[in-house]
Amino acid sequence: MPAEPENAQDPLPPAATVLGRRGALLAAGAVLAAGIGAAADELAHKELTARHGRSAAPPPEGAAVPFHGPRQAGVTTSQQPATQLLAFDLPQTTVAAGRQTLRGVLDALTRTLADAGSEAPSDLRLAGGGTTRLSSLVGVGPALATRLSLDVPAGFAELPAFPGDRLDPARGGGDLLVQLCAADRWTLTVVAELVGTAARSAGALPRWTQSGFLSPTAPGTTPRNLFGFKDGTANPDAAQDEQFVWGPPGAHQNGTVLVYRRIRMDVAGFAALPGDRRERMIGRRAGDGVPLTGTAEHDDPDIYAKNPDGSYVIPADAHVRLTSPRLDGGARMLRRSYSYDDGPADRGLLFCAFMRDPGQFVRVQDRLATRDALAPFLQHQASAVAYVLPGAADGGSLGDRLWT
Ligand code: HEM
């Protein structure tokens, strides 16, 4: 296979990591992982296989998504139809007072989310129609981690500015990020209110919130974005998650980094382009998501394949070429994006991607910002990055390992 000229890296080395490698393995993580119930494992396995469109029994009807476990469920649980993101700030005080407030907020969020997602939520509004199937995650932002000297992965930092960014600080950033996912808006509205109340009463200040939704998607199939293309096809499998999504063995192996971008899309402008032009801009067919070089949706796009006239089958400015893992030493990010609709002039994608090394997002977005054929139809309006904490053990709290 020819080497990609612009990025001379080994084809498939482990991802370059910015997460601190701790020499001594924290045995606690492994013990905890082993101690989690078989039911949770089975469910997680089914969720994972569903995520990749392989045949998998759908999760048991009505089963709650386990909240407790080594990892937070909101990362790899199969994508649910709706999401709500909430960001909070913490008051700027002394380190000791800030740590105390953060502990209080994380305790309150742990209690609230565990209860809301359980088989028997205490809020009657969540108890009417079977379990909520709520999955959630909580993360901390880089500024808070620095202010309070939290034990987050080395190199976890704010994202740099990218060409074309039009970021509204009031819609991005934040000390704490919570993502809720569920089957319906009712659940999200109720849980978002409970989360807001819990966080505020423990001292956090609401910063922004954003709702999103998926296209109707049968189990095992890929949702579409508002440009009409399947979005989320080329995601890592479970083994690749271990290599590229979750932290390296050690203190952060059950954490990951979430990159969030609120991207407004010129849906009408894109729809006005000829269909074959749109497919060349993406590098895949619109109807079935098959790469222009392949015959099945999950075929790897071959960015080296050429037409008889010497041009690339997947054009130089196609989205799947510029985002190809082949340009990043094989590294993959787990994309779990949602659409949003905040009025006719403001619709787009809530790009949500999980990765061990946020530098991977930076490399990809650096290419996209200036060369992506989609760029004239996109505007990045908000941005956030969060270290998604390891899960809470039964009886424990999220963030138990932030203080060491
Ligand atoms: C509104 C903006 C965007 C749209 C409409 C969009 C759409 C798509 C579509 C249709 C695909 C092909 C299907 C798939 O594999 O999921 C794709 C793939 C991909 N996109 Fe995006 N995308 C957007 C923004 C981004 C951003 C900001 C990044 C990262 C910086 C990104 C990274 C990727 C990656 C890594 C792939 C998979 C490439 C592969 O492994 O073949 N996308 N995107």
Give the pLDDT confidence of 171-190 residue by residue, as tens digits. Answer: 999 999 999 999 999 999 99
Mean pLDDT score, 104-112: 98
Q: Which ligand 1 atom sits closest to the C-alpha of 333?
A: 35
Mean pLDDT of the chain: 87
Give the torsion sign (CA, 80, 81, 84, 85). positive
Identify the residue whose C-alpha is closest to ligand 1 atom 34. 323
Angle at the Cα of 163 from the Cα atoms of 13 and 176, rounded to 5 degrees: 70
Task: Report the candidate in 207, 76, 185, 225 with the shortest Cα–Cα distance to residue 136.
Answer: 76
**What pLDDT, on a 0 to 100 scale, did the predictor assign at position 361?**
98
How far is Cα 257 from Cα 133, in angstroms, rounded to an integer?
23
Q: Is the whole-model pTM more than 0.85?
A: yes
**What pLDDT, on a 0 to 100 scale, did the predictor assign at position 60?**
59
How far is Cα 172 from Cα 114, in angstroms, rounded to an integer?
26
How far is Cα 342 from Cα 290, in angstroms, rounded to an integer?
30
Query: Cα(337) to centroid of ligand 1, in Å?
Result: 9
Query: Cα(256) to centroid of ligand 1, in Å?
Result: 19
User: Which sequence positions are flagged as catalytic?
Assistant: 231
Longest dimension (CA), the chain: 67
What does the H/E/C string look like for the chain?
CCCCCCCCCCCCCCCCCCCCCCCCCCHHHHHHHHHCCHHHHHHHHHHHHHHCCCCCCCCCCCCCCCCCCCECCCCCCCCCCEEEEEEEECCCCCHHHHHHHHHHHHHHHHHHHHHHCCCCCCCHHHCCCCCCCCEEEEEECHHHHHHCCCCCCCCCCCCCCCCCCCCCHHHCCCCEEEEEEECCHHHHHHHHHHHHHHHHHCCCEEEEEEEEECCCCCCCCCCECCCCCECCCCCCCHHHHHHHHCCCCCCCCCCEEEEEEEEEECHHHHHCCCHHHHHHHHCECCCCCCECCCCCCCCCCCCCCECCCCCECCCCCCHHHHCCHHHHCCCCCEECCEEEECCCCCEEEEEEEEECCHHHHHHHHHHHHHHCCCHHHEEEEEEEEEEECECCCCCCCCCCCCCC
Identify the residue whose C-alpha is closest to ligand 1 atom 11. 231
pLDDT surpassing 60 at residue 146: yes
Confidence of residue 127 (pLDDT cuts 50, 70, 90): confident
| Per-residue tokens: 394 | 């039964």
229 lines ligand 1 (CB under 6 A): yes
**What pLDDT, on a 0 to 100 scale, did the predictor assign at position 219?**
86
What would the pLDDT profile of 268-290 be if each residue is shown by its tens digit?
999 999 999 999 999 999 999 99
Cβ count near 91 (within 10 Å): 11
Q: Which ligand 1 atom sits closest to the C-alpha of 378?
A: 1
Instruction: Specify whether the CB–CB gap between 265 and 226 falls below 8 A.
Output: yes
Mean pLDDT score, 99-112: 98
**What pLDDT, on a 0 to 100 scale, did the predictor assign at position 220?**
87
**What pLDDT, on a 0 to 100 scale, did the predictor assign at position 132?**
76
231 lines ligand 1 (CB under 6 A): yes
377 lines ligand 1 (CB under 6 A): no
Instruction: Specify whether the CB–CB gap between 356 and 258 falls below 8 A.
Output: no
What would the pLDDT profile of 237-264 be if each residue is shown by its tens digit?
999 999 999 999 999 999 999 999 999 9
How far is Cα 121 from Cα 136, in angstroms, rounded to an integer?
15
Query: Cα(90) to centroid of ligand 1, in Å?
Result: 33
> Exposed, middle or buried by CB within 10 Å (0-12, 13-18, 19+), for 129?
exposed
Which superfamily does CATH assign the domain made up of 82-388 to? Apc35880; domain 1 (3.30.70.1030)
Rg (CA), the chain: 21
pLDDT surpassing 80 at residue 344: yes
- % of the chain at pLDDT higher than 70: 84
Q: Which ligand 1 atom sits closest to the C-alpha of 301?
A: 41
What would the pLDDT profile of 36-89 be if each residue is shown by its tens digit?
333 333 444 344 444 443 333 345 556 889 999 999 999 999 899 999 999 999
How far is Cα 210 from Cα 231, in angstroms, rounded to an integer?
20
Confidence of residue 223 (pLDDT cuts 50, 70, 90): very high
Mean pLDDT score, 105-132: 90
